[in-house]
Amino acid sequence: MMRVRQHTLPDYLFWFGCVIFAALLQTNWPEFLKLQDVSPDIVLVMVVYFAIAFGEERAMFTALIGGLYLDVAVNTTLGHHVFCYVLIGYFCGRLSTRLITEHEAIKAGLVLVASFLQGILFLAIQYVQEPQRGMLYPVLTNAVPAAFYSAIVTPIVFIAVERIFHRREAITGGML
């Protein structure tokens, strides 16, 4: 019989802190992460991780927290990142129930697709708000390289988050 673990307030605060740390890393040290003027979307990688590991609900809450932080820190329209991340979190959470997600290539491929879809959605919303920016050039110069870079850093982020949360689960003695 499978026992469902009840999460406590410290568990949620720890998870909240990890999401904020990822968003801080993405916004405050972009030069450290940049490769040829492209930086990975670490918050999106965490959203996909939580979609695979805990389901769409945790992924959508991760998207809400990370998206709100990014909206405020990057000075975009409030809700722009949130909307894109929440849709991707729900999509990945639902899709991960139908995939065998234990293989690293599947995880990286899911991050690649999710990052590309998030980039397209984000740029489409920007295009609707400001049509003079254009759509094709930002997709080719920003969304596609960022999707590939996010897929490349996926194993590193997944291993780090898995060790942190697996260790946390082992310490508290619960099962999912």
pLDDT lower than 70: segments of the chain: 1-7, 167-176
Reference 139, options 151, 130, 126; nearest CA is: 126
Contact criterion met (CB below 8 Å) for 46 and 93: no
CATH at 150: 1.10.1760
Instruction: Indicate whether 4 belongs to any domain.
Output: no
Q: Is residue 65 part of a domain?
A: yes
Asked whether residue 3 is assigned to any structural domain, the reply reads: no
Say what the pLDDT of residue 1 is.
36
**3-state SS, residue 51:** helix
Backbone angles phi, psi at 108, to 5 degrees: -65, -40
Q: Which residues fall within 8 angstroms of residue 92, CB to CB, at 6 or more apart?
A: 47, 48, 51, 52, 56, 59, 110, 114
Assigned domain for 46 exists:
yes
Rounded to whole angstroms, the Cα distance separating 121 from 118 reads 5
Q: Which DSSP string corresponds to 31-57?
A: HHH-BTTB---HHHHHHHHHHHHH-HH
Residue 1 lies in a domain: no
3-state SS assignment for residue 156: helix
> Is residue 27 domain-resident?
yes
Count the domains in the chain: 1
The 10s digit of each residue's pLDDT in 32-78 is 778 888 889 999 999 999 999 888 999 999 999 999 999 999 888 88
Residues β-bridged to residue 35: 38
Res 136: pLDDT: 87
> Quick check: is 79 in a domain?
yes
In a domain, residue 2? The reply is no
Look up the pTM and report it.
0.86
Q: Is residue 92 packed enough to be buried (19+ CB in 10 Å), middle (13-18) or exposed (0-12)?
A: buried
Range(s) of the domain holding residue 76: 9-172
